[in-house]
């Protein structure tokens, strides 16, 4: 049977791609951010995931204001980067796992989460940046991926509780897959940030610290928050924390924290990194 080895969180801002391309790993601005990743790569080398389920928010690439699914999932043989902003860099496509995706789709929809199923899907920085950070040489490896998208573009957004419960359905779906595969779940985005409006530049370190700590041992702490409570505390784009909750929902009740890193600011964002090994 497939096994969930653990969960990861990572910031996903596009500026990371630029910093990687320019190899700014020792640059004083970037070093405290990049230094968080080698211990996670060591853990990945140990647990050897076959598949990464990447839970992220599409930033207007596949879905815009005209059509906005609350939840969508990829079932494509591969996923191409089509991000804009820094130009479209030519990076290798990411391998899909269509058969595994369809198993997840059947199980999750049977559990009453009505996913939009995408047999063609492009990916943006929400997906590509964490993949490049965790597997800089992903193109030469056999790591397969499943993109799982949650709406943070157009309100109404799903509640923290709904996303956590989606994660539970995802966990159940993975663990019922008959093949022996190791699966890691990645929740991307966050932590606190707001890119526009009166609170542009907003960062809430006190709330970020609650997120970093409670998500490990007490994720249910967040389940009574409305999405508006979350926006108030974390900023309009800090609502990306719902990806972290979906990731955590897929893991077991008890997890072991292998590594964490928190650094502010990276671009406009509080960057939070977590590596959680799944409990029994
Ligand atoms: C930034 C943050 C994001 O979440 C994003 O999607 C794009 C950019 C930023 O802080 O630069
Ligand atoms: Fe984002």
Q: What is the pLDDT of residues 10-67, one digit of tens each?
A: 999 999 998 999 999 999 999 999 999 999 999 999 999 999 999 999 999 999 999 9
Calculate mean pLDDT across residues 75-91.
Answer: 82
pLDDT tier at 85 (50, 70, 90 boundaries)?
Answer: low
pLDDT tier at 279 (50, 70, 90 boundaries)?
Answer: confident
Ligand 1 centroid, distance to 2 Cα (angstroms): 33
- 125 among known catalytic residues: yes
84 pLDDT exceeds 80?
A: no
Share of the chain above pLDDT 90, in %: 95
Which of helix, strand or coil describes residue 102? helix
Residue 127 near residue 56 (C-beta atoms within 8 A): yes
Nearest to 118 by CA among 83, 151, 76, 82: 76
Ranges of beta strands (E only) in 11-90 are: 51-56, 71-74, 78-81
**pTM summary value:** 0.97
CA distance 5 to 246: 16
CA distance 86 to 84: 6
Selected catalytic residue, list 59, 193, 228, 259: 193
Atom of ligand 1 nearest to the CA of 190: 4
87 pLDDT exceeds 80?
A: no
Q: Which pLDDT tens digit goes with each residue over 167-187?
A: 999 999 999 999 999 999 999
Across the chain, mean pLDDT equals: 96
């Amino acid at each position: 049977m497939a096994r969930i080895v653990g969960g990861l969180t990572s910031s996903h801002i596009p500026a990371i791609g630029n910093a990687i391309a320019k190899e700014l790993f020792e640059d004083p601005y970037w070093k405290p951010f990049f230094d968080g990743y080698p211990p996670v790569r060591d853990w990945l080398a140990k647990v050897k995931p076959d598949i990464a389920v990447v839970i992220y928010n599409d930033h207007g690439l596949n879905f815009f204001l005209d059509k906005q699914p609350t939840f969508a999932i990829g079932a494509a043989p591969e996923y191409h980067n089509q991000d804009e902003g820094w130009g479209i860099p030519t990076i290798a496509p990411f391998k899909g796992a269509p058969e595994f995706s369809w198993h997840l789709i059947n199980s999750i929809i049977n559990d009453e989460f009505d996913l939009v199923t995408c047999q063609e899907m492009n990916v943006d920085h929400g997906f590509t940046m964490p993949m490049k950070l965790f597997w800089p040489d992903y193109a030469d490896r056999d790591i397969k991926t499943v993109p799982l998208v949650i709406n943070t573009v157009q309100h109404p957004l799903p509640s923290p509780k709904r996303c956590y419960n989606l994660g539970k359905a995802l966990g159940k779906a993975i663990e019922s897959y008959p093949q022996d595969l190791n699966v890691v779940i990645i929740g991307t985005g966050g932590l606190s940030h707001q890119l526009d409006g009166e609170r542009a530049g907003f960062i809430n370190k006190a709330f970020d610290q609650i997120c970093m700590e409670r998500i490990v041992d007490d994720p249910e702490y967040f389940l009574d928050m409305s999405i508006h409570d979350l926006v108030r505390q974390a900023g309009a784009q800090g609502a990306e924390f719902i990806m972290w909750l979906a990731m955590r929902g897929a893991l077991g009740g008890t997890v072991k924290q292998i590594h964490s890193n928190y650094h502010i600011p990276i671009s406009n964002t509080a960057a939070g990194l977590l590596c959680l090994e799944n409990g029994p």
